[in-house]
């Protein structure tokens, strides 16, 4: 059994709330992948979160850590990995020797079970509510990759607002997103259009955000003005493909 800090154990009941579109769709995707690769569950879970091979899984995770370090991650911090999956970032943190307090939250039990197996010193929790399960002003960083890409804007704002509450002054929320202005993201948009034109129901939500919306999210939540990195920018870390936003809580 995964041992959780007291305040996390109290919140596991949140998983009993009504299942949202993103929870339903993501659980179905994970379980379909596990069924298709019964002899290699690690690869199945890696593919469920967008890594075709285990080499890709590790390389992408290393890129995540490079982004976090560029934006101030150091040893001793307390971080919260929203939509942690099976531990792509967590396992990369372990590989790089980072030392700190890590909590990963996801909506799929199979994913967090795998993270717990791979990173036994890290805390994990199942949570399907649009909030950060952490005490007020207790975190140095909240980060999430390809989470807002599958949520309605209102859900994304609720996470943003609650991240502000949970972050310490000077803390940062760092996340990736899809935007129409990024030419490389056209293939997601066009693939979805082709899928719908063929008369198929949407398999899951692929949501795009405009930078103006993120500015408003930040302003309404209390963050300073956000900073952005294009998905193809390789100046300070490997290109992320999705665009990146950094929101800082004023000190």
Q: Parse the chain into domains and list their residue ranges.
A: 6-248
What percent of the chain has pLDDT above 90?
76
| C-alpha distance from residue 10 to each of 5, 6, 14, 15, 122 (Å) | 9, 6, 9, 11, 18
Closest C-alpha to 175, from 126, 228, 123, 127:
228
Instruction: Give the residue among 110, 137, 146 at the shortest CA–CA distance from 249.
Output: 137
pLDDT of residue 251: 94
**Rounded distance between C-alpha atoms, residue 44 and residue 37, angstroms:** 6
Residue 5 above 60 pLDDT?
no
- CATH 3.40.50.300 assigned to domain 6-248? The reply is no
For residues 91 and 117, give the distance between their C-alpha atoms in angstroms, rounded to a whole number. Answer: 10
CA nearest to 30, candidates 113, 152, 89, 125: 113
Instruction: Say if residues 234 and 244 touch (Cβ distance below 8 Å).
Output: no
Q: What is the pTM of this model?
A: 0.88
Q: How far, in Å, CA of 4 to CA of 2, rounded?
A: 6
Q: pLDDT of 23-65, one tens digit each?
A: 888 888 899 999 999 999 999 999 988 899 999 999 999 999 9
Q: What is the pLDDT of residue 19?
A: 74
């Amino acid at each position: 059994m995964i041992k959780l800090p007291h305040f996390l154990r109290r919140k596991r009941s949140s998983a009993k709330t009504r299942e949202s579109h993103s929870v339903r769709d993501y659980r179905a995707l994970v379980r379909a992948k596990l069924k298709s690769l019964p002899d290699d569950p690690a690869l199945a879970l890696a593919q469920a979160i967008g890594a075709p091979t285990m080499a890709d899984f590790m390389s992408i995770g290393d890129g995540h850590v490079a982004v976090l370090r560029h934006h101030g991650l150091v040893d001793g911090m307390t971080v919260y990995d929203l939509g942690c999956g099976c531990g792509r970032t967590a396992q990369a943190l372990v590989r790089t020797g980072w030392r700190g307090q890590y909590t990963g939250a996801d909506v799929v039990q199979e994913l967090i079970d795998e993270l717990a197996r791979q990173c036994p010193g890290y805390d994990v929790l199942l949570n399907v509510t649009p909030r950060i399960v952490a005490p007020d002003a207790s975190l140095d960083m909240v980060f999430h990759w390809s989470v807002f890409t599958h949520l309605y804007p209102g859900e994304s704002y609720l996470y943003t607002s609650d991240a502000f509450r949970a972050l310490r002054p000077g803390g940062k929320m760092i996340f990736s997103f899809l935007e129409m202005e990024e030419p490389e993201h056209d293939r997601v948009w066009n693939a979805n259009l082709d899928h719908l034109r063929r008369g198929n129901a949407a398999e899951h939500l692929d949501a795009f955000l405009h930078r103006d919306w993120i500015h408003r999210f930040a302003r309404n939540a209390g963050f300073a003005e956000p900073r952005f990195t294009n998905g193809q920018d390789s100046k300070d870390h490997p290109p992320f493909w999705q665009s990146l936003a950094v929101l800082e809580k004023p000190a």
